[in-house]
Amino acid sequence: MGNSTCLAGDAKLPYCRGCGHGLVVRQLSRALEALNLPPRSMVLTTDIGCVGLADSLFPYLHTVHTTHGRSTAMATGMALAEAVLPATGLKPIVMIGDGGAMIGLLHLVHAAQLNVDITVLVHNNFLFGMTGGQHSAFTPLDWITSTTPEGNRVPPLDLLSLLRMAHAGFLARQFATDSNLGEVIADAIAFPGFSLVEILEICTGYGGLKSEARSQLKTEAPSFPRKRESTGSALRDVVKRQGYSLGRIEAEPPRPSFGTIYRQQIESRNPVPENPSFHSPISSFQFPVSRSQDSKRLHIVIAGTAGEIVQSSAALLCRAALSVGLYSTQKNDNPVTQGSGFSLSEICLSPQPIEYTGMERVDVVIAASQEGWNELQANGTLSQLTSSTLLLLDAELEISHPTGRLIRQPFRRDATPKRAALAAIAFWLGMEPVVPSVAWDAVLASLPVERREDVSAALKVGQDLASRGGACAA
């Protein structure tokens, strides 16, 4: 009791008489019996459709009945979890129809790519049986269904070829009536990685009929034809017309699953060093702001060109401010693309915690490139300028006459374009020591060694320009 992986002994199958689904569950039961796996090491993950009725037939397996098409994705999640759990050898078996395979196609593709250890049994009867025989992406050409009254005109998907391209390791196509189906399913379950068996069936309720056959029937049988005479010949006909291969098809050579690779990766990792902690603030420092309205806050906009280290330079300013006990907020902006066009940062500095992070005025504008300046024009920043706004612009910029205290310096020329933004920041702080120069020492000490040289070089250019008396307004 409780240890059987098989169909319940007294199971009355819920499927229509003659439906291939009944054959599949019996063959699955045979396969599980042959594999002799503990029942709790398997989870039957069923999709929406008649195929979803399989849950109750296997009373000792875990069963998860999902939403339409998502059975593969949920099973993938369950299998992935194995990588960080004590290994249980859990094997999800997905029972899905052709409709589920269509709506959940991406989940099948990704499961194959990840090579998660799951087995998918696609019950392909070429249409939606439970909802009344509508056609699917797998319906053969010319088939008449309730939604293709003149015959299907869209060529069906070849699932196995598609998944082969997605690097699936085990792929097979069988008829539900195949006597060896159980062995193929057992092989698929035993396969360590993603395996899929596409099982071809004819829906006994709505099995399709080719349009020419229907026209023959038209005179004598005006009602919608519901059954085929012979499912065997219908299936053989589909396979022939679509050029499908049968049995196990050539697939990728065995490779480790994503979970296996992941487990190895985390096991071989060195312990992570803690984030370098940021030294205590210099508490004696007084925030020397006086010119802005509320005298408690400074709003700085730093604009430049993407790829020229604008936002990272702004972040260094925030770090410097933090090291002297100031609060800061930083917001970055750039176009849809990350590596072209403008790049900009809005910074707020305050000796008190900052609640509202927007700018109702601008105190300092730093523009390190033409693209940055143009963006400030486009985004309305320049319309916020007042006569007390400090404008610190690169000497090369072409500008009209903006409001504010204008200073132009050759940051790009002297420091290089990639150091221009930081040089300009250092220039500003040389001129208005909002943050004392000792703060830069703290910033440098917190940086990885390989970045320090670049940063000090940029800072030096800015500080030198400031000390050479460039601080007079242009």
Partner 1 sequence: MVAEGALAAGCRFFAGYPITPASEIYEVMMHELVARGGLALSAPDEISSLCYCVGASLRGLKAMTATSGPGWALMSETVQYALMTETPVVIALVQRLGPSTGGATQGAQGDIFLAEFSTSGGYTIPVFAPSNAAECHELTQQAFNWSERLRSPVVLLSDKEVGMTTEPVEETALAKLVPVERTFVDAEAAIAAYDVSRVEDIPGFAPVGGGVKVTATGSAHDRQGRLRKPSPEVVDMLVHLQRKVEAHAAEMALVRSDLDPDASCLLISYGITARAAREAVRLLRNEGFPISFLQLQTLFPVPAEALHWAAAGIRTVFVAEENLTGQYRTVLAHLLNGKRLLGINKIGSMISPCEIVRAIRRAGGTIPRGDWPCTHSSDEAVRPSRKAGV
Contact positions toward partner 1, by CB under 8 A? 40-41, 43, 55-56, 59-67, 70, 73-85, 88, 90, 106-107, 109-110, 258, 262, 265-266, 269, 272, 315, 318, 322, 327-333, 335-336, 354-358, 360, 378-380
For the residues of 53-85, what is the DSSP string, one character each? GGGGGSTTSEEEE-STTTHHHHHHHHHHHGGGS
Closest contact distance (angstroms) between CB of 380 and partner 1 is 7
Whichever of 90 and 199 has its CB closer to partner 1, that residue is 90
Whichever of 220 and 355 has its CB closer to partner 1, that residue is 355
8 A C-beta contact, residue 204 and residue 21: no
Number of other CB atoms surrounding residue 210 within 10 Å: 20
8 A C-beta contact, residue 143 and residue 155: no
Closest contact distance (angstroms) between CB of 61 and partner 1 is 8
Closest contact distance (angstroms) between CB of 306 and partner 1 is 13
Closest contact distance (angstroms) between CB of 91 and partner 1 is 9
Whichever of 222 and 380 has its CB closer to partner 1, that residue is 380
Whichever of 108 and 234 has its CB closer to partner 1, that residue is 108
Closest contact distance (angstroms) between CB of 15 and partner 1 is 15
Burial per residue of 326-363, b for 16 or more beta-carbon CB atoms within 10 angstroms, e otherwise: bbbbbeeebeeeeeebbbbbbbbbbbeeeeeeebeebb
Closest contact distance (angstroms) between CB of 113 and partner 1 is 8
Report d(CA 98, CA 137) in Å as an integer.
8
Whichever of 407 and 421 has its CB closer to partner 1, that residue is 421
For the residues of 230-269, what is the DSSP string, one character each? -HHHHHHHHHHHHT---EEEP-PPP---HHHHHHHHHHHP
Whichever of 115 and 463 has its CB closer to partner 1, that residue is 115
Whichever of 207 and 304 has its CB closer to partner 1, that residue is 304
Whichever of 378 and 473 has its CB closer to partner 1, that residue is 378
Structure-block tokens of residue 86? 């004590």
Report d(CA 8, CA 14) in Å as an integer.
13
Closest contact distance (angstroms) between CB of 261 and partner 1 is 11
> 121 - beta bridge partners?
95, 197
> 173 - beta bridge partners?
198, 247
Tell me which residue has tokens 């990766």.
Answer: 265
Closest contact distance (angstroms) between CB of 88 and partner 1 is 5
**What is the three-class DSSP state of 87?**
coil
Nearest to residue 260, comparing CAs of 389, 117, 48? 117
